[in-house]
Every structure is written in structure tokens, then in C-alpha cells.
Amino acid sequence: MRKEYKKTGDFGLGSMIHTIHMSDDVNKLNDFYRNVLGGFTFMGIDELNFLPNEDRWASLLMVSSVCIETMAPKMPANVNYPVGKFYSKFGQHLHSVGYAVDDLPGIAARMIEKGIYIGAPGGGRIEKLEEGTQYFYPSPKDTAGLMVELCAFEMQDPSSKDTWTELERLFAQHPMTYDRFNYITLGVRDLDAAIATYVDIMQAIPIKEGIDQEQGFKYMTVHIGDSLLQLAQPLEQDTDLGRHVEKYGNFIYSLTWKIRDIDSAEAWLNKKGVRTTRPRPDLLAANPDDTLDAPMFFTTEELPGDPFSV
């Protein structure tokens, strides 16, 4: 059975079509996601995908219910292309997210009316969305630092296929004991401003506000389409998130999966050479030095008000 996507807002924001992990070597990323996290590759299986107009290589994998796009610029990186420019500036890092939208012209018109800069495929500002435009990029300056791609189409990843529930079962049986992908965390300097931005621009639905004492940040988790986004402001600089925000400002920070057995996941990651800590008993943190500079967390915690809780 295929997955039924939840949608939010007036314009039908649906699936989070991907989150991008940038490096200098797509095969290196793919090996990690396959061999450590049990990723299922569905694009770029035997031969990587090359897109000339972006001068980049990429693959697509599912890791539980999230699609990871592994990406690298054609080396040496050409800063005249957005992918090469990003890699030259930030190096190996999480890059962005994408959402499918039923009414792409509608949300584009709303953003333009609000004075938001939206970028066209290949670059340049969109003043009015041309008929047939399939995707665009709001400026991160207007989305609290998150690079977002809004698309008129679904990714057609394995979750859209009739065999999805069988693949879900296999993910659940992996030593990581996946339940589902939980949320992206966006580190921000000003939580209240970030919340206002997402409620206004993306019509996000606030779910849970709180303080994570062990990790040293306050947060709001919001519901956007078929996914959750955690907006997190560090309470002090001398924390992992605090140092990240100090270095990058508002920027995508981490990935969190919901799992069933934290002991099994911890043993598996350690066996694969990924060092871990437990900020608290039901939260497992992987060392970013072992996950190609992408902070990753695995939790058995229940989120109050979670719209995806079964």
C-alpha cells in the first residue's frame, strides 16, 4: 500500500520530497547511508545522476520514511553554479529540504505579494510565476535560514508505490528499528521570529513548544505538510547547536528519526564505527564526525500532539 500524504495550508503543502546532504563525493555518502543506516537507493543505483545545468552529481535514497538526496558538485567545484558555490562556502553539510505543493502558482503569488524573493530554476528573481514552472526557491533570508525548494510534483519515491508498506516493514526489521523519520531541526538565533515566519509564510501549524535541557535549546515543533520541522534556538553558545548557530547563523542543523529499540540502534551504530552518546535515556546522538558532518539523532520519545502518531 502506498503512503497517504498529509497536507497543510491553503495551497496544499504535502510531502517533504527530499532533504539534501552535500559532500564532495556522492559515492561516499551513499556508502554511509546504505551500509550504516540501511538506505534504499532508488535513483543513481548503478550510475550516478549528473545534471549539467547544475554541474552536480546526485542519488536518491530512502532511509525509513525520508528521502535523502546525496549530492556533490562536479569537482573541482565551480562557484558559478549554486551547488559549487554552496560546497565552496560550507563544505560537507546538510543543505536543504523540498516540499511538494498542489498549488505552486498560488503559493508563489502569496510570497511575491509579501515581498519575498523567490528564485527561478537556474537563477534570477521571479516577479510572476510563468505557466509551466515546476519549482522555485524562496530566499533563505525569508525562511529563517532554511533553504527550501517548492515543487509542483511529488518525487515518486518508494513511498508513492504500492509496495511501500513492505519496504516499511523491512526498515522496521533493520537493527536501527525504524518507526519513521521524525523531523528536521533548523537552528535559529531568534525562535519567536522563526515561528512567526513559518506560521505566516508556510502556514505551519505549531505543535509543541518546550526546552530541551540536556541539549541546551528552546524549540517549537511545527507541522508542514507531511512532515515536522523543529525550530531551535540555543540557550547558550557552548553547546553543539550553539556553536553551529554561532558559526552559520540560521541554518539547517540535524535529522532525527523515531525508532523502536534504542539499545539495538546504539549497538548497530557502534558496530559500524559510529560513536554515540545519550543526552537522555530515550535519545541517541551520533557523532557528526562519523556521519559525514550531519548531526543525527534517534529517539523513542513520543511528541505530544504529534499528527503522525499512530
Q: Which pLDDT value is given to residue 103?
A: 96
Mean pLDDT (the chain) is: 95
The overall pTM is greater than 0.85? yes
Percent of the chain whose pLDDT exceeds 70 = 99
Q: Which pLDDT value is given to residue 2?
A: 86
Instruction: Give the class (CATH, top level) of 179-299.
Output: alpha beta
The answer to whether the peptide bond before residue 76 is cis (omega within 30 degrees of 0) is: yes
Cα 236 from chain centroid (whole Å)? 24
DSSP state of 139: -
Segment among 21-25, 140-144, 171-175, 259-263 with least mean pLDDT: 140-144
Q: Which three cell numbers stand for residue 103?
A: 498549488
Domain map (residue ranges) of the chain: 13-158, 179-299
Helix (H, G, I), strand (E, B) or coil at 193: helix
The CA distance from 303 to 24, in Å, is 35
Per CATH, 13-158 and 179-299 having the same topology is answered: yes
**pLDDT of 309 over the 90 cut:** no
CA distances in angstroms from 219 to 12, 185, 230, 255, listed in the order given: 25, 9, 7, 15
Cβ-based neighbours of 82, under 8 Å, separated by 6 or more: 54, 123
The CA distance from 219 to 86, in Å, is 27
CATH (residue range 13-158) = 3.10.180.10
pLDDT band per the 50, 70, 90 thresholds, residue 155: confident
Helix (H, G, I), strand (E, B) or coil at 65: coil
**pLDDT of 95 over the 90 cut:** yes
